[in-house]
Amino acid sequence: MTSHGADAAGSADALLTVLELLAGQAPAARFEELLDEARLAGLSGEELDRLERAVKLADQVRSGREDDARREAGLAALADTARDLTFSYDLDSLLRVVTRRARRLLGLDMAFVTLRGQHGSCYVHTTEGARAGLDTGTGRPAGPRLAPGLKIAEGYGLGGAVQLHGEPVWTADYLADERFAPSGSLDAGVHAPAFDEAAEAAVRAEDLHAIMAAPLRSGDTVIGALYGADRRVRHHTSEELALLAALADLAALAVEKAGLLDRTRAEVSELERDSSRVRTSLTRMRHVSEAHSRIMNLVLAGGDLGNVAKAAGDALDATVLIRDQGGRALAGGDIPGLDEEAVAKASLDAHARRRPVLADDDTWVAPVIAGSEDLGGLVIRAASGLTGEDERLLELAAQSVAFLLLMRRSTAVAEGPVRDELLDDLIADPPHAPQQLAQRARRLGVDLRKPHVLVLARPEGGEQGRAVVWASSYAYRLSGLKTVQGGCIVLLLPGIDASAAAKAVAAELSPLLGHPVSVAAAGPATSPDGIGRMHQEAGRCLDAMSALGGTGSAASVSDLGFLGMLLSDDHDVEGFVEGAIGPVLDYDAERFTDLTRTLEAYFASGGSPTNAAEALHVHPNTVSRRLERIGELLGPEWQKPGQVLEVQLALRLQRTREVLSRGRAGTDTP
């Protein structure tokens, strides 16, 4: 074989070797070794050029394969990233997936995401590969230099360029690139990047050089940027930029997904809260309805105001007090520490607005109204406040109370003639058969075997009609009787305190009529045959009050002192004496003292302790000490004119009774 034939054969073998190396995906160094071996073997000239061209073509094929492999890996990574983003991560987790993939696929030292805030500035949200530094003060790790939360001024650096153009931007050496210096320009004066000292310091602290950034788009709006950075100078290819841009698009989808999830969760939470509020409202409405039904059943069943107040208080978890239009308590619990001035103001507002009004921190006032008529009000002390449903229940309770008061008034008016006739017969002279009267009273719900007092009320001027209507309701409310005789309202009421009954009638009737009412009372009596006597005594008491200038006042027979004794039919001398000087008489009887005789001597001497001491043959100091003791027994006002007169009269009556008693004893002696 000739030399030329040998070269041709060697060249063919070398070309075959190139194909074998290419098929075996040998590294680039192996192709260089093949060229070196061919040169050593004496291959030269055209054959060597052919072999070098074959190696060059093989290198291009190999590079294309590597590019294809990288593209396939990138597409696979994008697919994996897209699949990962379908999982239910929160925004932090989703962006961490994107930055981690970007760093691994592009061989980056660091990747991070910035998002736009509400006022245009950006902030670092997620970082991957940040360098931890040392705090110069403590020597401890100070955390990443480009840390989440770092604010970046609007228009700064690559992020500003991305925001402006909406396209990926890169630089091989950011710190040396004049385009991003404070005086630089990306578009010949179109864009002058802002300078952010804190962000610049962070870039230097991380020692970053090559940086590329791709926009995160939401529609036509750039909402942030995905950054890839190296701590060395590096030139990025278009394929690398395209891959970063694709990852940025996935990051934008992650942001939108997270935002959608957050909005959905917020809407679901709001729906749950709405549902809870609706359920709570339905529960409260059901509670209001049931409570109102219980209260109305009490009213329709003939329950009294006390039962209604208790039922309303239980439903509202509060203390309920029912008052009439004059502010007097009709029923309900006691409310300690009540600010009456605040309640009075709130009551006016409540009646004007026709709804409950808050008087102070925990006290409410609800108006009791029938049409335009003021029937009173409810005062409520709620420990835990009232909800809207509670206020509605309070209004319904007030309506129930108004309904009950109107029912009572209607019943009183309907039964009025029969009840009036009964009282007329009870006070008639001569009296009717007591047993028959007692039976008639029981049929009307009045037990005459229990103590009753009789009250006479005489309106001093004005029309009598309103007073009569009020008296019917008042008597029915207190389970008593009422009639009208001689221009006076006659009331037979349960009780033992005639004086208190007279004052209560005057206190309620006078403000209602707007002019004075003279009220007299007598009693008590515990049988039908004593009612006529009480009526006569109350009449004489009323006449005496008028004669004494007491028109418009309220008093009982017992309030008139010795005049009451004279006006009463039984002339209870013993009761009068006991009431005036009973404590002194008892003190003398128990301790064998002479306080009674000292009183007599004191009055006989014109109120002079010295003269009284001479009459008693004791020292004046002794008389003074006895008078002090008498003051302790009879009260500090015993020497005032009104009580002095009664004390003197009682002393005379007691002395007369003793004389008569001794005379009767002498007559009985054999």
Q: How high is the pLDDT of residue 143?
A: 46
> Does any domain span residue 281?
no
- Evaluate whether residue 623 is within a structural domain: yes
Residue 489 above 50 pLDDT? Answer: yes
Does residue 11 carry a pLDDT above 50?
Answer: yes
The answer to whether position 154 is within a domain reads yes
For residues 35 and 51, give the distance between their C-alpha atoms in angstroms, rounded to a whole number: 7
CATH number at residue 492: 3.30.70.270
- Cβ neighbours for 185, distance < 8 A, ≥ 6 positions apart: 179, 191, 192, 193
Indicate if 9 and 25 belong to the same structural domain.
Answer: yes
Statement to judge: residues 201 and 335 lie in one domain? no
Instruction: Give the pLDDT of residue 260.
Output: 81
The dihedrals phi and psi of 548, each to the nearest 5 degrees, come to -90, 5
56 with 112, same domain?
no
* pLDDT given at position 122: 85
pLDDT at 669: 44
Residue matched to tokens 């020692």: 207
Of 313, 273, 275, which Cα lies nearest the Cα of 291?
313
* Domain stops at, among 551, 567, 583: 567
Neighbouring C-beta atoms of residue 375, cutoff 10 Å:
22
Same domain, 21 and 99: no
Is the CB of residue 535 less than 8 Å from the CB of residue 560? no
Band the pLDDT of 360: cuts 50, 70, 90: confident
Write out the E strands in 166-262. 169-171, 211-218, 221-229
**Which whole-number Å values give the CA distances from 83 to 245, 262, 264, in the listed order?**
17, 20, 21
Q: Are residues 477 and 547 in the same domain?
A: yes
Q: Residue 194 has what DSSP assignment?
A: B
Q: Which of residues 482 and 292 earns the better pLDDT score?
A: 482
Predicted pLDDT of residue 670: 44
Same domain, 628 and 540: no
Question: Scanning the structure block, which residue is given the tokens 């310091």?
Answer: 201
Give yes or no: residues 604 and 554 share one domain. Answer: no
Calculate the dihedral angle through the C-alpha atoms of 426, 428, 430, 436, rounding to the nearest 10 degrees. -30
The mean pLDDT value for 384-403 works out to 75
Q: Which pLDDT score is estimated for 569?
A: 46
Type and span of the H or E element at 374: strand 373-382
Tokens 């841009």 belong to: 245
Q: What average pLDDT does this structure show over 471-481?
A: 82
The answer to whether residue 74 is domain-embedded is no
Q: 557-561, 564-568, 593-597: which range is least confident on average? A: 564-568
**Torsion on CA atoms 541, 546, 550, 555, rounded to nearest 10:** 20
pLDDT at 139 over 80: no
Greatest mean pLDDT among 248-262, 337-351, 484-498: 484-498
Highest mean pLDDT among 65-79, 449-463, 464-478: 449-463
CA-based R_g, the chain, Å: 55
Mean pLDDT of 524-544: 84
Q: Following DSSP, what letter does each residue of 83-98 receive, concatenated? A: HHHTS---HHHHHHHH
Give me the number of domains the chain comprises. 5
Q: What is the pLDDT of residues 12-71, one digit of tens each?
A: 666 677 677 767 667 767 777 766 676 766 666 777 777 777 777 777 777 666 666 666
Contact yes or no for 174/160 (Cβ under 8 A): no
pLDDT of residue 6: 47
Same-domain pairing of 544 and 599: no
C-alpha–C-alpha distance, residues 393 and 315, integer Å: 8
Query: Which pLDDT does position 563 carry in this prediction?
Result: 56
**318 within a domain of the structure (yes/no):** yes
Name the residue with tokens 């004075």.
Answer: 516
Give residue 227's pLDDT band: very low, low, confident or very high (50, 70, 90).
Answer: very high
Judged by DSSP in three states, 210 sits in coil
In this prediction, residues 554-562 reach a mean pLDDT of 73
CB atoms within 10 A of CB 304: 15
Instruction: Assess contact for 620 and 628: CB atoms under 8 A.
Output: no
Query: How does pLDDT run across 623-653, given as a tens digit for each residue?
Result: 888 888 888 888 877 777 667 767 777 777 6
Q: Is residue 282 one of the residues assigned to a domain?
A: no
In a domain, residue 276? The reply is: no
Kindly give the pairing relationship between strand 329-332 and strand 318-323.
antiparallel
Per the CB < 8 A criterion, the answer to whether 113 and 100 are in contact is no
Neighbours of 625 (CB within 10 A): 13
Please compute the mean of the pLDDT values over residues 604-617 and round it to a whole number: 82
The residue segments making up the domain with residue 464 are 435-567
pLDDT of residue 585: 83
* Selected residue with higher pLDDT from 65 and 172: 172
- Residues with Cβ within 8 Å of 578's Cβ and at least 6 positions away in sequence, in order, are 585
Distance between CA atoms of residues 101 and 128, nearest Å: 10
Quickly state the pLDDT bin for 153 (edges 50, 70, 90).
confident
Phi/psi for 412 (5° steps) reads -65, -40
Lookup: tokens for 147: 């840390």
Tally Cβ neighbours within 10 Å of residue 34. Answer: 20
Residue with tokens 């040169």: 39
2 pLDDT higher than 90: no
In a shared domain, residues 366 and 444: no
pLDDT per residue over 576-593, tens digit each? 667 677 788 888 888 888
Per-residue confidence (pLDDT) for residue 81, from 0 to 100: 62
Chosen domain end from 263, 290, 316: 263
Strands 517-525 and 554-556: parallel
Residues 471/489, Cβ–Cβ less than 8 Å: yes
- Count each helix (H run) and each strand (E run) in the chain, helices first: 20, 18
pLDDT for the residue numbered 666: 43
The pLDDT of residue 493: 92
pLDDT above 60: residue 538: yes
pLDDT at residue 529, as a whole number: 82
Which of 54, 36, 37, 34 has the alpha carbon at shortest distance from 46? 54
- For residue 358, the tally of other CB atoms under 10 A from its CB is 18
251: DSSP letter:
H
* Confidence label for 567 from pLDDT (cuts 50, 70 and 90): very low
Q: Is the pLDDT of residue 136 over 50?
A: no
| Three-state SS sequence of 379-407 | EEEECCCCCHHHHHHHHHHHHHHHHHHHH
Whether 127 and 166 map to the same domain: the answer is: yes
Q: Find, among 547, 556, 389, the residue nearest to 456 by Cα.
A: 556
- H or E element that contains 547: helix 531-547
pLDDT in tens, 76-115: 666 666 666 656 567 788 788 888 888 888 888 999 999 8
Cβ atoms of residues 357 and 365 within 8 Å: yes
pLDDT band at residue 413 under the 50/70/90 scheme: low
Task: Indicate whether 393 belongs to any domain.
Answer: yes
Among the ranges given (18-32, 75-89, 320-334, 375-389), the one the predictor scored with the smallest mean pLDDT: 75-89
pLDDT grade, residue 342 (50/70/90)? confident
Q: For position 212, what pLDDT does the model report?
A: 92
Same domain, 552 and 618: no
- What confidence tier does 295 reach under pLDDT thresholds 50, 70, 90? confident
Q: State the pLDDT at residue 111.
A: 92
DSSP β-ladder status, 357-358 and 132-134: unpaired
The CA distances from residue 160 to 224, 233, 320, in Å, are: 10, 21, 69
| Cβ–Cβ < 8 Å for 352, 412 | no
Q: What is the CATH number of the domain that holds 125?
A: 3.30.450.40
User: Are 397 and 536 part of one and the same domain?
Assistant: no
pLDDT band for position 4 (cuts 50, 70, 90): very low
- From 40, 69, 98, give the residue that closes a domain: 69
* Mean pLDDT estimate for the chain: 76
Mean per-residue pLDDT, 256-262: 79
Least Cα distance to 84 among 251, 235, 212 occurs for 251
Residue 574's pLDDT band (cuts 50, 70, 90)? low
